[in-house]
Amino acid sequence: MSTHRFAVNVTPKPGILDPQGRAVEGSLGHLGIEGVSAVRVGRRVELTVDAADEAAARRVVERLAGELLANPLIEAYTIESIAGASSTTAVGAA
C-alpha cells in the first residue's frame, strides 16, 4: 500500500456564468487594483488516498471527482499530484 496526496481543481466551464468571478472583478476598483481580468472562481479539494499504487489511487480520485466533487454539466476538473505523499512499505504493522 502507498499513500498519495492529490488536489482536484474544479472550475466553471467556459461560457458558464460565474457570479463569484464577477463579484471579485467588481471589487477590484475599490481596492485600486488594475489590469486584472477573466476571473474564474472554482473549488480546490485536497485529499489523501491509500491504494496499492499511484495508478490505483488516481483511479479513485477520478471517480470521486466525476461523481461527487464536480458537476460535469457545468464544471471541468483537473487532478494534480501534490507533495506530502509517501510510499509506505508495510513492515509488520497492521
Rg over alpha carbons for the chain, rounded to the nearest Å, is: 18
Binding pattern to a copy of itself, positions 53-92, x when CB under 8 A? ----x--x--xx--xxx-----------------------
Residue 94: all three cell numbers together: 497492521
Q: How far is the CB of 71 from a copy of itself (least distance, A)?
A: 14
- Rounded to whole angstroms, the Cα distance separating 59 from 69 reads 14
Binding pattern to a copy of itself, positions 17-56, x when CB under 8 A? ----x--x--xx--x-x-xxxxxxxxxxxxxxxxx-----
Q: How far is the CB of 4 from a copy of itself (least distance, A)?
A: 10
For a copy of itself, give the closer residue by CB, 37 or 92.
37
Phi/psi for 27 (5° steps) reads -90, -15
Residue 60: all three cell numbers together: 479513485
Do 3 and 50 form a contact (C-beta atoms < 8 A)? yes
Q: CA nearest 7: which of 84, 71, 78?
A: 78
Binding site for a copy of itself (CB under 8 A): 5, 7, 9-11, 21, 24, 27-28, 31, 33, 35-51, 57, 60, 63-64, 67-69
